[in-house]
Amino acid sequence: MLNKDELLRRTNSGLDVFKHYIPVQWKTGRNFLNPLYEDRKASCNVYFDRRNSVYKIKDFGNDEYSGDCFFFVGKLKGLHCNDGADFVEILKTINREMSLGLDNSDYTPVSQSTPQKGSLINSEPPKNKPYNIIQQKYTQKELDFWIQSGITPDILKLYKTVSLKEFRSENKDNKPFYYTSSENEPIFGYMGKRYVKIYRPFSEIRFLYGGNIGESYCFGLEQLPAKGDTLFITGGEKDVMTLAAHGFHAICFNSETSTIPTGIIYKLTFRFKHIVLLYDADKTGIDSAIKHEKALAEYGVKRLLLPLSGEKKEKDITDYFIKGNSRKEFRQLFIDFLDNLYSETMTMLKSCEIDFNNPPAKAEEVISAGDVPLGTQGNILCITGGEGTGKSNYVAALIAGSIIKDSRNIDTLGVNVRDNSDGKAVLLYDTEQSEVQLFKNVSNLLKRAKLNEKPEELRAFSLTGMSRKERLQAIVQSMDKYHYEYEGIRLVVIDGIADLVLSANDEAESIRIVDELYRLAGIYRTCIVSVLHYVPNGLKLRGHLGSELQRKAAAIVSIELDSEPSVSVVKALKVRDGSPLDVPLMQFSWDKELGMHIYIGEKPREEKEKRKEKELATVAREIFGVQKHLTYIDLCDRIQQTMDVKERTAKSYIKYMREKEIIIKDPSSQNYFMIGHII
Q: Considering only residues 645 and 463, tell me which one the structure prediction assigns the higher pLDDT.
A: 463
Q: What is the mean pLDDT of residues 270-283?
A: 94
**For 592-619, what is each residue's pLDDT tens digit?**
888 899 999 988 777 777 778 888 888 8
Cα(494)–Cα(391) distance, integer angstroms: 12
Give percent of the chain with pLDDT exceeding 70: 94
Query: Over 50: is that where the pLDDT of 125 sits?
Result: no
Q: How many CA atoms lie within 13 A of 576 on its CB side?
A: 16
Question: Is 98 exposed, middle or buried (CB count within 10 Å of its CB: 0-12, 13-18, 19+)?
Answer: buried
**For 132-162, what is each residue's pLDDT tens digit?**
999 999 999 999 999 999 999 999 999 999 9
User: Residue 538 has what pLDDT?
Assistant: 62
Q: How many CB atoms lie within 10 A of CB 407?
A: 8
User: Residue 429 has what pLDDT?
Assistant: 95
Model confidence at 676, pLDDT cuts 50, 70, 90, reads low
Q: Which of 126-130, 293-297, 324-328, 426-430 has the lowest mean pLDDT?
A: 126-130
Query: Over 70: is that where the pLDDT of 121 sits?
Result: no
Cα(93)–Cα(77) distance, integer angstroms: 9
User: Residue 122 has what pLDDT?
Assistant: 38
Q: Which of 104-113, 235-244, 299-308 has the lowest mean pLDDT?
A: 104-113
User: Residue 540 has what pLDDT?
Assistant: 67
Q: What is the mean pLDDT of residues 80-98?
A: 83
User: Residue 108 has what pLDDT?
Assistant: 30
The dihedral built from the CA positions of residue 439, 496, 493 and 385, taken in this order, carries a sign that is: positive
Give me the residue spans of the domains in the chain: 4-98, 131-211, 221-348, 365-603, 611-673
- Contact call for residues 203 and 248 (beta carbons, < 8 A): no
Measuring CA to CA, which residue among 100, 98, 73, 104 is closest to residue 88?
73
Mean residue pLDDT across the chain: 86
Query: Over 70: is that where the pLDDT of 11 sits?
Result: yes
User: Residue 430 has what pLDDT?
Assistant: 93
**For 184-220, what is each residue's pLDDT tens digit?**
999 999 999 889 999 999 998 889 989 988 778 999 9
User: Residue 253 has what pLDDT?
Assistant: 92
Give the CATH number of domain 365-603. Answer: 3.40.50.300
Query: Over 60: is that where the pLDDT of 104 sits?
Result: no
Model confidence at 649, pLDDT cuts 50, 70, 90, reads confident
User: Residue 493 has what pLDDT?
Assistant: 95
User: Residue 155 has what pLDDT?
Assistant: 96
Q: Backbone phi, then psi, for 39, in 5-degree steps?
A: -75, 130
User: Residue 626 has what pLDDT?
Assistant: 78
User: Residue 117 has what pLDDT?
Assistant: 36
> Cα angle at 604 between 601 and 605, to 5 degrees?
125
User: Residue 40 has what pLDDT?
Assistant: 75
Q: Please say whether the structural domain 221-348 has been given the CATH code 3.40.1360.10.
A: yes
Measured CA distances, 49 to 6, 27, 53, 592 (Å): 18, 15, 6, 101
Query: Over 80: is that where the pLDDT of 545 sits?
Result: yes
Query: Over 70: is that where the pLDDT of 458 sits?
Result: yes
